[in-house]
Structure 1
Amino acid sequence: MDDPRRPENRLAYRAAIDRPRLTLPGAKRVAIWPVVNVEHWLIDNPMPRQILVPPTAASLLPDLPNWAWHEYGMRVGFWRMLEAFATRDIRPTLSINGSVCEAYPRVAGAAHEAGWEFMAHGFHQVPTHRVADEPGMIARTVAAITRFTGAAPRGWLGPGLTETLDTPDHLTAAGIAYVGDFVVDDRPCRVATRHGPLVALPYSVELNDIPLLAIQHHRADEFVERALVNLDRLAMEAASDGPLGGAKVMGFAIHPYITGVPHRIGLLERLLDALAARDDVVFMQGSELLDWYLGTGDDA
């Protein structure tokens, strides 16, 4: 328990009711943080996710059907998402494997041209625990994104939100300033590392199409309904004079091979329209949230 690398030691407990009231630009109540995840699945490896269980439950390589499920998202689904955001003048954060810059330059280039912020997401879509040289993988990811975009990424999301006990130290050593893996609050907070604090932004594991649709198998419209109910509550709390008052952040996460398919893309469009119609929210990218939070003076 005394190991300073343990999450509970890196991330000091702070009750929500004890935190200071924060204010967003324009006195908005909730910052919306949309995150689009694009990944590189290697046909040589077991697939990170499966839509089709192999016959007799035997693991087979190459896993062509599940590889192709994801590949559809990169060839078709991504472009539906790009249009959905572009036509509404919304710029999400792109959680991107470093190798996508090399394997799918058309996808990475379109996102960069559209003004999406690149948040590093590992080099390949492989759990961090299975990487032999974690600092080397992080450096390779940062270098690939920097070469492609001309700017080093400021944020990191582990593949599947995976981290070892040493990951935060490796990230800050590589120049990463914020991370989405610590989904512990409705507001940003600080994670202690050997190289200074790392800011944890409110990513989401519940407003996320993988657990909601691909794992738990809810009806597709549950995504929109859950997001809007979640937002209503956050906005109500933010406007209150009670102990939970003050600005909140609502992140949501989508993947081209899940939400970018024909029978679900309309849900994203519906959600974006509902969010854009509100006058109490503001869309922000990861770096914008980071800079805003660091400027509040909160030291949580």
Structure 2
Amino acid sequence: MEYDFVPLPDRKPLKWPNDNRLAVILTINLEYWDPVQDSDKPYYPGGPGIVGGNLPGNVYDNPNFTWREYGHRVGVWRMFDLFDAEGVPASCTMNAKMALKRRPVIDAALERGWEIVPHNFVQDELLTDYMFDEKAERDVIKRTLDVYEDTIGKKPKGWLSSSLRSTLNTIDILAEEGLIFVTDLLNDDQPYLVKTRSGAPMVSISYTSEVNDFSFLRQGLTVDTGFSMFKEQFDWLYQESATSGRVMNIGLHPHVIGQPFRIRALRDFIRYAKAHDGVWFPKREEIAEWYLDNHALHIEPSGDPPIP
């Protein structure tokens, strides 16, 4: 995996299709956590907990498991109702265990025609566990893609790693499996091409750990300060997008933003964004497919082969 370092001022203006200015991606992360693991090592939850303290993997953590399950049982349905009422789509990510254990949630997203992106096998397993074992990492990815195809009925186009913890081999493996975009890289407000050892290009469409509902927990935001965070990000990117297109992503988790005392922040932001001209709510695969055809109009390829 390698990409050219092209600073923003050195790029040509990015012109989205249909005169759009700002692509807004509202990412609902559909994630399952195992109640227990076959390990006495500290359990890695893949996100902040509602009750602190690390328990061993083989010890059931009731408050944190059931708090997260609130998202499956209640929070996500509140979010579905909101998105339906406002008439905008979400881009969902899904770990394989979510498809196997919580299929009604996945079916509801599919019924709405929403994009679903594979998101590792289970939330508490990281690809970085296999940094020095590419065969094992490939096995996790292939098992995830197999469940995805069985559930969704088609091959996936992209990928998001649990906790964005990918390795230096991940994007190469994904390209070899036929995927065309990755969401793990946090380093841009525009798409760009990533080189791979197979020669197949990958499009980076950045996720964000900043504009994320976890900020409500980590930074103690209220519904109003949470909306303010979303709005500030939008306003600045919208201003910049007058001359060159931008992408804005918000990371959402049903057990967090799906709580009754937080969800108004999301509703108010959606209404605010919709009131602006040139705002686009695309699927990531739409961006990736378009960018593969048009990237040279934005960033001229260097012609340098990837480092093996």
Q: Scaled by the length of structure 1, what TM-score is found?
A: 0.90
**Mapping 1:121-270, distance limit 5 Å:** 121-125=119-123, 126-130=125-129, 133-195=136-198, 196-210=200-214, 212-239=215-242, 245-270=243-268
Alpha-carbon contact 2:223-2:263 (below 8 Å) kept: no
CA deviation string 1:261-297 (max 9, x = no partner): 1111111111111111212311111111112222323
Offset, 1:214: 2.3
Match of 2:305 in 1: none
Q: Distance in 1 between matches of 2:237 and 2:102?
A: 37
Alpha-carbon contact 1:40-1:124 (below 8 Å) kept: yes
Query: Which amino acid in the other structure matches residue 206 of structure 1?
Result: E
**Which secondary structure does the structure 2 equivalent of 1:99 belong to?**
helix
**Which secondary structure does the structure 1 equivalent of 2:25 belong to?**
strand
**Which secondary structure does the structure 2 equivalent of 1:297 belong to?**
helix
Alpha-carbon contact 1:21-1:246 (below 8 Å) kept: yes
Alpha-carbon contact 1:22-1:296 (below 8 Å) kept: no
Q: Distance in 2 between matches of 1:157 and 1:102?
A: 18
Offset, 1:198: 1.3
Match of 2:80 in 1: 82
**Which secondary structure does the structure 2 equivalent of 1:51 belong to?**
coil
Match of 1:242 in 2: none
Query: Which amino acid in the other structure matches residue 71 of structure 1?
Result: E
Offset, 1:32: 0.7
Q: How many residues align?
A: 284
Offset, 1:21: 0.8
Change (3 A) 1:146 1:58: closer
Q: Distance in 2 between matches of 1:223 and 1:15?
A: 30
Q: Distance in 2 between matches of 1:50 and 1:204?
A: 19
Match of 1:19 in 2: 11
**Which secondary structure does the structure 2 equivalent of 1:94 belong to?**
strand
Identity of aligned residues (%): 31
Query: Which amino acid in the other structure matches residue 20 of structure 2?
Result: K
Alpha-carbon contact 1:207-1:223 (below 8 Å) kept: no
CA deviation string 1:107-129 (max 9, x = no partner): 01101111111101001002212
Q: Distance in 2 between matches of 1:217 and 1:154?
A: 35
Which consecutive residues of structure 2, in runs of 5 or more, have no partner in the other structure? 38-42, 302-308
Match of 1:38 in 2: 30
Offset, 1:174: 1.4
Q: Distance in 1 between matches of 2:227 and 2:219?
A: 15
Alpha-carbon contact 1:138-1:174 (below 8 Å) kept: no
Query: Which amino acid in the other structure matches residue 209 of structure 1?
Result: D
Match of 2:114 in 1: 116
**Which secondary structure does the structure 2 equivalent of 1:14 belong to?**
coil
Offset, 1:130: 2.4
Q: Distance in 2 between matches of 1:175 and 1:139?
A: 11
**Which secondary structure does the structure 2 equivalent of 1:190 belong to?**
strand
**Which secondary structure does the structure 2 equivalent of 1:112 belong to?**
helix
Q: Paired residue for 2:89, among 79, 91, 98?
A: 91
Superposition RMSD on alpha carbons, in Å?
Answer: 1.7
Query: Which amino acid in the other structure matches residue 44 of structure 1?
Result: V
**Which secondary structure does the structure 2 equivalent of 1:295 belong to?**
helix
Deviates more, 1:270-279 or 1:256-265: 270-279
Alpha-carbon contact 2:192-2:295 (below 8 Å) kept: no
**Which secondary structure does the structure 2 equivalent of 1:87 belong to?**
helix
Q: Scaled by the length of structure 2, what TM-score is found?
A: 0.87
CA deviation string 1:76-118 (max 9, x = no partner): 0010111111222211111110121110010011011111111
Q: Distance in 2 between matches of 1:51 and 1:71?
A: 12
